[in-house]
Amino acid sequence: MVVVLQPTGCQEYLPLVGAILKERELAAENVPPEVEELIASDNYARHLGARVVEIRPGYARVSMELGPQHLNFMGMVHGGVIFGLADVAFGAAANSFGLKAMALSVGIDYLAAPKVRGTLTAEVEQVTRAGKMCYYRMQVTDASGVLVAQCRGWAYHTGRPLAARDGEEGPGA
């Protein structure tokens, strides 16, 4: 007599396992050029004046030159600019695997006022993964290397290809 054991209730996890394996495969390599191009085409990043300086699977460094349009009414760099730069870098790092990832939560601590001239840089790295969710750490520094802000965030990794546009995958995309 041969007994074949088949797991019950586990079939729904197979796509998740496949997506995790695909991400690990990609993590061993560089970010594919088409993924870099897609991330670099971000309209909000362009609006801020931010550009991806370095990207690897689970990591991104994004910089921008500060100008008068980035200052608040007190003549200081607006907190939204700092957060926006960190968020652009977060999105680049989270999506660097070539699979869609979306922010679930992001928190920021402002530590110092940045210089109003020069470069502002955000650096993001993936710290850990829990199923489809990943935890990321972000740091923003000014042109002098002063740590301006620290952020942390959770991203939900869908397992769906990044190149697919909203609406092409059906409900819940």
Q: Is 133 helix (H, G, I), strand (E, B) or coil?
A: strand
Tokens of 155: 């991203």
- 172 located within any domain: no
Closest CA to 103 of 89, 85, 91: 91
Residue 116 sits in a domain whose CATH number is 3.10.129.10
Q: Is position 171 within any domain?
A: no
**Residue 23 is assigned to a structural domain of this protein:** yes
pTM, two decimals, is 0.79
Domain that holds residue 48: 12-161
C-alpha–C-alpha distance, residues 58 and 56, integer Å: 6
Report the distance separating Cα 10 and Cα 1, nearest Å. 25
pLDDT tens per residue, range 73-97 = 999 999 999 999 999 999 999 999 9
Specify if 67 maps to a domain: yes
Q: Is residue 167 part of a domain?
A: no
- Res 66 pLDDT > 60: yes
Of 30, 50, 34, the C-alpha closest to 42 is 50
In this prediction, residue 5 has a pLDDT band, given cuts at 50, 70 and 90, of very low
125 lies in a domain? yes
How many domains does the structure of the chain reveal? 1
Q: Provide the pLDDT for residue 171.
A: 44
- Give the confidence band of 98 by pLDDT, cuts at 50, 70, 90: very high
Structure confidence at residue 150 as a pLDDT band (50, 70, 90): very high
Integer CA distances (angstroms), 127 to 55, 57, 103, in order? 15, 12, 15
| Position 169 pLDDT exceeds 60 | no
